[in-house]
Amino acid sequence: MNSYQQKWIEVLKNAHIPGWKIEARQDEIFIEMPQVTDLKLIRDNLPATLGAMALDIDLPKQRVKFIFHNGYENFEYILNPDEKDLNKE
């Protein structure tokens, strides 16, 4: 785990979002949410939310992959994608 990923975990945990379990999984951040969580709402608001939270992080930006799961479905979001992410077909 790199320091940028660790800082994101710290920022997310400090948000004290009820029912969210946040943990590192290799080079990813896995977020388990309550089953009643509307993933579409999370996905639609995620870029703005992470942008606001990023103001508290003063480390050099690195690629970090978030995996959001609510017990039924999941989605992934990559912050600071690398060349490999951008060239996926």
pLDDT 10s digits, 23-82? 999 889 999 999 999 999 999 999 999 999 999 899 999 999 999 999 999 999 999 998
- Report the pLDDT value the prediction gives residue 89, as an integer from 0 to 100: 59
Confidence of residue 1 (pLDDT cuts 50, 70, 90): confident
Task: Copy the structure tokens of residue 66.
Answer: 């978030």
Q: pTM of the full predicted structure? A: 0.90
> For the chain, first and last CA: distance in Å?
27
Other CB atoms within a 10 A radius of the CB of residue 39 amount to: 16
Q: Write the CB contacts of 78 (distance below 8 Å, at least 6 apart in sequence).
A: 63, 64, 65, 66, 85
> What whole-number distance in Å separates Cα of residue 63 and Cα of residue 45?
20
